[in-house]
Amino acid sequence: MKMKSNLSQMIPYKPGVLKEGALKLSSNENRLGPSPKAIEAILHGINNVNIYPDGTCRILREALAEKLGYKRENIIVGNGSDELMTLIAATYVSHGDNAITAVSTFSEYTFATILFSGEIQKAEMTEGTFDPAKILALINSNTKIIYFCNPNNPTGTYINHNDLDDMLKKIPHDILFVLDEAYADYSDALDFPDSKQLLEKYPNLMILRTFSKIYGLAGLRVGYGIAREEVLEEILVTKQPFNVNTPAQIGATAALSDDDFYRRSREMNSIGKRFIYDELDRLELKYYESQANFVCLYIGMDSKVLFQQMMDQGITIRPLTSFGLEQWIRVTVGTEEDNRLFIRILENTLK
Ligand SMILES: Cc1ncc(COP(=O)(O)O)c(C=O)c1O
């Protein structure tokens, strides 16, 4: 057997090594746990799993449409937003095509593009932020998709509404612009993009969001995309019939109305970020101000070494070597106790 040539440059995803009992602050999960309303609804609905799930996710799509002010035809649900990235590439990318993203960003954009034999072009960034001019400079006649992460994982930086609008104006409408807003729920920037308004203006825009972060449902695997109906009709061709399981649909629908949990998650995050910034200032460590539920900081040493040393003391953070940031780490903002432990172990290790 001979593996397809496009796949030979890929390696299977390796989940991070976890020490048993260690505090996991490496994957930007919600340290408040899952939305209690979601759990209650799942327990109530679990007896129906002898029946295939609703392949159209009708109830969840209707709930999302009502909450966000769209039609349900504008919404697609995936087995995590990761799945949607793959479906998007399956729809638009083939051999000879390219997709554009930035150097230090979420790895799934690259994975999805290469999986369908496309080439990924990575634009340099400015101060940890996507740089519109550098992205635009990479566009050519073979460009099919631009993946734009806002706020960006792993830096937590963002681009504002006007800059995004200016950029979208310059992009040909036959290129799909995928705006990944996995962490947008955490943003408190007043000029953070109003992506709904942009979707009304740009037919080639697709927004991705997830239930994995602020709703605390990473293990259920539910993400969603918002786009014009014509775009979703094309992407739907590539979707498996029953891609989102029944507990996931039930849990996500209930989580959507869990305003108390949503508010508490945001509040814990902003208090936690403030504490971490103050402590990093005290330790004189550089960091990016984050619009997400994590902080990216410069540690001035090999981040893999620091990762190992911190894990030995009971905490896992994310070394950013694979993002091209060898001396940076990313830490999930947790509870007050988590954040204090992180700072204590970090300080200890850097001493
Ligand atoms: C930027 C970004 N997009 C998407 C995802 C994946 O979301 P999901 O769990 O819905 O697949 C992540 C997960 O960490 C992420 O960081």
320-336 pLDDT per residue, tens? 999 999 999 999 999 99
Distances (CA, A) of 46 to 37, 80, 104, 221: 14, 20, 40, 16
Is residue 106's pLDDT more than 90? Answer: yes
Q: How many helices and strands in the chain, by DSSP H and E? A: 12, 12
Work out the number of other CB atoms within 10 angstroms of the CB of residue 244. 26
Residue 232 in any domain: the answer is yes
Could you tell me if the CB of 338 is within 6 A of ligand 1? no
Task: Name which residue sits closest to atom 7 of ligand 1, judged by CA.
Answer: 81
Residue 10 in any domain: the answer is no
**Higher per-residue pLDDT: 18 or 90:** 90
Q: Which domain holds residue 271?
A: 17-33+260-350
261-279 mean pLDDT: 98
Distance 182 CA to ligand 1 centre (A): 6
Could you tell me if the CB of 210 is within 6 A of ligand 1? yes
Task: Tell whether 162 and 195 lie within a shared domain.
Answer: yes
Q: Which of 256, 287, 317 is the last residue of a domain?
A: 256
Structure tokens at 189: 């920037």
At residue 267, the pLDDT reads 98
The string of DSSP codes covering 59-126 is HHHHHHHHHHT--GGGEEEESHHHHHHHHHHHHH--TT-EEEEESSS-THHHHHHHHTT-EEEEE--B
Is residue 17's pLDDT more than 80? Answer: no
Rounded CA separation 99/111 (Å):
11
Rounded CA separation 31/48 (Å):
29
At residue 19, the pLDDT reads 83
Task: Tell whether 135 and 216 lie within a shared domain.
Answer: yes
Q: What is the largest CA-CA distance in the chain?
A: 57
Task: Name which residue sits closest to atom 2 of ligand 1, judged by CA.
Answer: 182
pLDDT tier at 14 (50, 70, 90 boundaries)? confident
Q: Which of 203, 224, 256 is the last residue of a domain?
A: 256
Task: Tell whether 54 and 153 lie within a shared domain.
Answer: yes
Rounded CA separation 129/151 (Å):
9
Is residue 166's pLDDT more than 70? Answer: yes
- The closest alpha carbon to 283, from 217, 207, 342, 220, belongs to 342
Distance 81 CA to ligand 1 centre (A): 6
pLDDT tier at 16 (50, 70, 90 boundaries)? low
Q: What does the pLDDT look like over 37-56, one tens digit per residue?
A: 999 999 999 999 999 999 99
Could you tell me if the CB of 81 is within 6 A of ligand 1? yes
Residue 117 in any domain: the answer is yes
Task: Tell whether 71 and 216 lie within a shared domain.
Answer: yes
The string of DSSP codes covering 154-167 is TT-----HHHHHHH
- The closest alpha carbon to 252, from 71, 111, 58, belongs to 58
Q: Give the CATH number, domain containing residue 155.
A: 3.40.640.10
Packed helices 336-350 and 259-282: angle between N→C axes, nearest 10 degrees = 20
Task: Tell whether 95 and 238 lie within a shared domain.
Answer: yes
Task: Name which residue sits closest to atom 12 of ligand 1, judged by CA.
Answer: 182
Query: What percentage of the chain carries pLDDT values higher than 70?
Result: 99
Question: Is residue 217 a contact partner of residue 38, using CB atoms and an 8 Å limit?
Answer: yes
Mean of pLDDT over the chain: 97
Task: Tell whether 168 and 264 lie within a shared domain.
Answer: no
Is residue 249's pLDDT more than 70? Answer: yes
Rounded CA separation 97/40 (Å):
46
Task: Tell whether 200 and 264 lie within a shared domain.
Answer: no
Question: Is residue 22 a contact partner of residue 341, using CB atoms and an 8 Å limit?
Answer: no
**How many folded domains does the chain comprise?**
2
At residue 284, the pLDDT reads 98
Question: Is residue 160 a contact partner of residue 193, using CB atoms and an 8 Å limit?
Answer: yes
Distance 108 CA to ligand 1 centre (A): 8
Rounded CA separation 27/275 (Å):
20
Task: Tell whether 87 and 186 lie within a shared domain.
Answer: yes
Rounded CA separation 307/268 (Å):
25
171-180 mean pLDDT: 98
Q: Give the CATH number, domain containing residue 266.
A: 3.90.1150.10
Rounded CA separation 216/177 (Å):
27
